[in-house]
A and B are shown apart, each in its own frame.
Chain A
Amino acid sequence: MTNSDLAVDATGLVKRFGDFTAVGGVDLAIEPGEVFGVLGPNGAGKTTTLSMLATLLPIDGGRASIFGVDVASSPHQIRQLVGVTGQYASVDENLTGAENLWLFARLHGRSSKQAKALADDLLGRFGLTEAAGKQIKDYSGGMRRRLDLGASLISSPPLIFLDEPTTGLDPRTRSQMWDTIRDLVANGSTILLTTQYLDEADQLADRIAVIDRGLKVAEGTPSDLKTSVGESSLQLRLSDKSLIEEAALLVKRITGSSPVLTPEAGGLNVPLPDANQAADVLIALRQASLSITSAAVQQPTLDEVFLALTGHDTGQPDAQSDARETESEEARR
């Protein structure tokens, strides 16, 4: 495959805001039809990278092309190839859902009638038909995101940028959003997704690049990344603490390694190279009549990924609630 066939082909992308280097030379190579995840904490440069590729910010160094079209020299063409869904819904607060989609469809050159039909269609597709006549300021966070995503699809762009599509959404809305994104992939869209959540990247992305402080620190498939940072573990707590030795023997027989014990609490921490073994362990305990009070599978967290990849943590004690300010400031600076 030649480079012009790549959906995104970026080499040494640099963005500086004054003395601060937000992006310090990032390379990206994304195949058509692929879902590519950019994973990193707040302020890592994810949004800035996306903004440069979407022609929203000038590129200070390096070069980028999208489907073989140069980003810096042909911004108008790039805008026809890319649909952008921002971190914060980029829709008009004062207009209704239907009016928003009509407006964007008109700006894309549809006739008033076509725009109306397209708006109705998209509202239906994103489960917003009932809210069509409501102003966006009365929408919930999840509804805004869905409308925003709908707006990005008006021109059926072959490449879609999703900037933290589920940051700040509740778990149910998040999984709805994931389903919507999977539909897009099934329809042949190429997707560049940024996220702060390893599980989101894991769920959606074919390949992931981890970005930290404006630099790419790792790239690979989700399973590559996870193996590189360690495995998940099963946390168990026994009802009867005195049976802990017996339980440990049983677990060792199944997983092949000794669990870490906390005898005073009746706790076992079972490393799981293969997540299927969690069920095996639970069934074996049940058959041996060893009752438990709690069981939880723990994935490696983004913090652990970062610790493993960069030697420092994400520096974000509460990533979710800080998400809004930091990145938007970064993008506007």
Chain B
Amino acid sequence: MSALMAERSIQAAKQRLTPRPTPRETVSQTITMAWRALKKMRRNPEQFFDVIIQPLLFTAMFSYIFGGAVSGSVKDYLPIVIPGILAQTALTACMATGTQMREDMEKGVFDRFRSLPMSRIAPLAGPMLADVLRYGIAATLTLATGFAMGYRPGGGVLGITLGWLLVIIAGWSMSWIFAWLGTIARSAQAVQGIGMMIMFPLTFLSDAFTPKDTMPGWLQHFVAINPVTLVIHAVRDLINDGNITANVAWALLGCLVIVAIFAPLAIRSYSRKV
């Protein structure tokens, strides 16, 4: 009898076989994986430390230290430094995305994800979608700290909202770099180490904190093409002036290029991961 039942269940299963996940399944699975990541965040609230502490600390610290020297006063410096810190915190927050993804992948449950007939992108895209919440918190707190210190940008509600959105989009895009690192690095510490080496040059070799014309000429060339600079310029245009400029288009293009390069790399190395 059991042979007959076996035969039946095999026939039924073979009839249901699909060759690959459909786009709809991929979206639904990504959302499910984002749900899982949000559950984990709620149960481990320490995951929010970096996006809460850093905006408060760095905004105040950089403004009071560099404000007078760079712009003559803290208040005049805020329009320069707040967009810079927005980009910097987004970048730091997405470094944590990569580190946590690496940690997560060590766990047994990832063996199950890999054994399921599910989209290969969902286990990566899900947590990255959930981390949009973290970028949102970081951006909101940075702006709030700025306002508390006397930052009065001229972009209006629309400009500020668009600038805030751009920071989140940039954070999500850049997190693909770290997701890729997460899939190739040997440990979470390695992701963190390599992440630092990427983050520091990208944030400080930009005009996030200082105007670029005081830098040596060769450095100015790098600063000009640094994607973080593009994002900072776009955010300044949006938040400070309320203008949707070419800088915004450049920043979005930069984000798109990053995703187009690193998302396929990340998915490929995740699929091969032992």
Residues of A bordering B, CB below 8 Å: 7, 32-33, 54-58, 67, 69, 74, 76-77, 79-82, 84, 86, 88-95, 99, 103-104, 106-109, 135, 151, 155-158, 185-190, 331-333
Contact = CB atoms under 8 A, between A and B. Distances in A.
Given A103-B32, A107-B29, A107-B32, A189 B117 contact: no
Given A58-B272, A84-B115, 16 more contacts: A32-B3, A33-B3, A54-B115, A55-B114, A67-B10, A79-B115, A81-B13, A84-B111, A93-B109, A107-B122, A158-B13, A188-B5, A188-B7, A188-B9, A189-B6, A333-B274
Contacts, number: 127
A90 B8 contact: no
Contacts of A74: 19
A81 B3 contact: no
A331 B111 CA distance: 11
Contact of B112 (A104, A157, A185): A104
Nearest to B20: A76
Contact of A95 (B14, B16, B39, B116): B39
Contacts of B5: 33, 187-188
Interface of B: 2-10, 12-14, 16-21, 25, 28-29, 32-33, 35-36, 39-40, 43-44, 107-118, 122, 272, 274
A106 B43 contact: no
A57 B29 contact: no
A80 B15 CA distance: 11
A79 B116 contact: yes
A151 B16 CA distance: 19
Given A77-B17, A103-B36, A94 B43 contact: yes
B197 to A, nearest CB: 26
Given A67-B10, A76-B117, A188-B9, A90 B108 contact: yes
B149 to A, nearest CB: 37
Contacts of B110: 90
14 contacts: A32-B10, A69-B17, A76-B21, A76-B117, A80-B17, A84-B115, A92-B107, A94-B39, A94-B44, A106-B28, A106-B32, A107-B32, A135-B43, A158-B9
In the A-B complex, the 6 residue pairs with the closest CB atoms: A188-B5, A33-B6, A90-B112, A79-B117, A188-B6, A90-B108
